[in-house]
Structure formats: C-alpha cells, structure tokens
Amino acid sequence: MHQMNDDNNINKAPQNPKESSFWEMVRYLVIASLIVFPFRMFVAQPYIVSGSSMDPTFKNGDYLIVDQLSKRFSEPARESVLIIRYPVDPSKFFIKRLIGFPNETIEIKNGVVTIFNKSHPEGFSLDNSYIEHKKNDNFSIKLGDSEYFVMGDNRANSSDSRVWGPLPSEDIVGKPILRLFPIKKIGILPGEVNNNEGQK
C-alpha cells in the first residue's frame, strides 16, 4: 500500500488539465465497465436475429434485448420465445419457441402439435395461430427430466428439437423482453402469445 504524502493534497488543482481529463475519462470508463459487464453477463444482453426460422414473428436483423436473469427464479411459460444455446454447438445461439416441458410427451401429426402430461393425459393441442409457414410432418418424443422441446415459428424451415432432439435446461439463455429494431416493430415482450388452458 502506498501512503499519500502531505504535499499530495487530493484537492490540489491539477497542473496539467489535459492529463487530468484523460485520467478522469479512464476512471469513468473503468467504473462504467464494472457496472455494464456484470449487467450484460447476468441480467440482459443484446442479440441480433440471423435467419428465418422464426419468421414471421422475428425477421433477419431484428435487434433484441434479452432477459437472462428471470430464468433463475421462474420457469418460462409455454409458447414463450427463448434464446438458447445450440446443444450440438453451445458457441451458437438460436431463437425458438418453448413447446414442451420436462417429462411430457410431444406428438406431431400432419403438423399438429399435441402435448401429453399428468394434468392432461388425453392430450391438448396448441393454438399455433401465429404459424404461417406450416409443415405436415410427423414426430413423437418423450422428454426426460430437465429436457424441453422447442420449435421455430417457421415450421417448414427451422432446425429445432425435431432435428437435434430435446433442449437441456442449462442451454436456456433467456427470453426477449424488448425489440429495438426495426423501428416500426419496437415493443416489449416481442413474440408473446396467449397460452392455452393446458399449460402445465
């Protein structure tokens, strides 16, 4: 630890204003970094949509602010939009919609998604009114503990759980809370839909 001498009065006017301004700017940048870095790491972070797998809900180039904190305290709702890590390559990020929860069975027949769980052993179907690009595929999977099923809104052109399987819970990054671009689509909670009655 360096001790300050009496002649180095903290209130003394600087002899070189330019040098003082430089160090003031450095100090403010350090303080700002200490605030912004944890915020971006743990609370919220910007993402830019690349690709058409969520068309028409999200378009290529959409600029989103993603909430990364709330997932630590509550489970996302069914049909909410999520930013996820691609399980095959965690360095890549995807944007998908949450369809199935752990221990549920997901069946797709001619493009219609039906979900079976303890609360609805007879199954229930999702509204999917937001889907414009449909695909009449057939698929079935039983999810395990801590596994989710996600799909893109562009069902005809999306790499999702139908292709690479269930999404591990640890690969959920967060959900968009704000769309900042394009200007005409600025809004909060972009892509949110009203859930059906059989949510859990």
User: What is the per-residue pLDDT across 34-74, written as a single tens digit (0 to 9) for each?
Assistant: 444 444 444 568 999 999 999 999 999 999 999 988 878 88
Tell me which of 12, 20, 50, 53 is the catalytic residue. 53
* 176 CB burial (10 A radius; 0-12, 13-18, 19+): buried
- Global pTM reads 0.76
| 109-135 pLDDT per residue, tens | 999 999 999 999 999 998 888 899 999
CB atoms within 10 A of CB 175: 24
Q: Which of 20, 92, 96, 185 is catalytic?
A: 96
Of 82, 85, 73, 127, the residue nearest 101 (C-alpha): 82
Domain 53-59+73-173 classification at class level: mainly beta
The pLDDT score that the predictor gives to residue 100 is 97
- Domain spans, the chain: 53-59+73-173
Mark whether 53 is an active-site residue: yes
Task: Look up 125 and say whether it is catalytic.
Answer: no
